[in-house]
Structures are given as C-alpha cells and as structure tokens.
Amino acid sequence: MEQSSLPFFRQRLVGRKIVIVLPVIIIIAAIILTVTVLPKSYYFTVRAGELYLVRGSSSGWIFSQRSSAMEPFSVKGLDLKGITGVAFKTQDEAMNVLRSSFQKRVHEQSEALLVKEKELADAYSDLLRDLTGAKAAGTPGLDKNIEVLKGWLEIYNTKMKPAMPAAKS
C-alpha cells in the first residue's frame, strides 16, 4: 500500500510547488510589465528638500528613473503644488512648465526688491557722500567701504537705466 500512495504524495508536492511558485511568477511578470510596457510620463517630485525630474509610469519612486535633463536643487520652503505630482508627456513640456514657474517667481521677487533697492540707493548715496567727506578730512581705512558702495551704486544705476532704443537704419 505504501507504493501506491507514493505517486499521490509526489503529485501533492508538485501541486503545492505550483501553488507557491505560480503567484510569484505572476507578480514578477506584472512588475516587469509595469516597468516596461506602461506609458511613461515625467513628474517633478521633492525628496529631502530637493526637486527632481523623474520618468516613470507613476510619480512614485518605486519604478521611476531620475531624468538627466535637470540636476536636483533645493526648494525648501517653496510651494510647488502646481508642478509636483503632475504628469507631463515629454521632458521638454515638464522643463517648460518649470522654467515659466521660476521665471514668474524671479520677476515677482525682482519687482519687490526694486522698491527696497531704491530706498537703499538713496541711503547708500548719502553714506558714500559722508564717507568721501570723512576720507577727505583724513579718516583712515575708508577706501574699501567707498569702493564697495561705488560698485553697488554703479550696478543699481545700470539696472535702473532704461534700455537704449535700437538705432534706425
């Protein structure tokens, strides 16, 4: 009787192996299918305070690759809700959205700084006048401060100077 139960026992072991191995094979096949076949999109994601552009079938990092189009940079404290988590069809589309977003931020911050720079320019002009007078009166060690103020005021005046119109031919 033991001989007749031996093939049954082997069949049961083979059946158990199939039941254990088959789901593993199906899971591995699903992962490979997800990584290779599903359409890829580009996403911006923030990790450890840095912004990354990744390519993958979802914005998660499990099956996504970092794009070489952009080096990660610090975005701590920035609100990037309009950029992160959004699927872009192409890398160029993603970079254009990022570029326009940061150009807008730069413009807004530049406008806000112009008001403060105007106040500083007036104060620095007065300080430069007084430093120059103190130097003329014989106060030593003011040359460096005078040069720095002249440099800052020159940069400010160049920035504030209206662009020259193009010459007509």
**pLDDT tier for residue 87 given thresholds of 50, 70 and 90:** confident
Q: Tell me how far apart the alpha carbons of residues 83 and 81 are, in angstroms, rounded to a whole number.
A: 5
Instruction: Report the candidate in 124, 113, 73, 65 with the shortest Cα–Cα distance to residue 91.
Output: 65
pLDDT exceeds 80 at position 131: yes
Instruction: Report the candidate in 30, 55, 52, 53 with the shortest Cα–Cα distance to residue 40.
Output: 55
Domain-located, residue 77: yes
Q: How many domains does the chain have?
A: 2
Domain-located, residue 126: yes
Q: For 74, phi and psi rounded to 5 degrees?
A: -70, 130
Instruction: Report the candidate in 100, 116, 117 with the shortest Cα–Cα distance to residue 152.
Output: 117
pLDDT at 167: 54
Q: Are 99 and 90 in contact (CB under 8 A)?
A: no
**What range defines the domain where residue 142 resides?**
109-160
Q: Tell me how far apart the alpha carbons of residues 92 and 158 are, in angstroms, rounded to a whole number.
A: 34
Domain-located, residue 47: yes
Mean pLDDT across the stretch 113-134?
A: 93
pLDDT exceeds 80 at position 93: yes
Domain-located, residue 11: no
**pLDDT tier for residue 4 given thresholds of 50, 70 and 90:** low
pLDDT at 168: 54
More reliable by pLDDT, 58 or 169: 58
Q: What is the pLDDT of residues 19-78, one digit of tens each?
A: 788 888 888 888 777 666 666 788 888 888 999 998 876 655 555 678 888 899 999 988
Domain-located, residue 104: no
Domain-located, residue 36: no
Q: For 137, phi and psi rounded to 5 degrees?
A: -80, -5
pTM of the model as a whole? 0.60
For the chain, what percent of residues have pLDDT higher than 90? 36
Domain-located, residue 57: yes
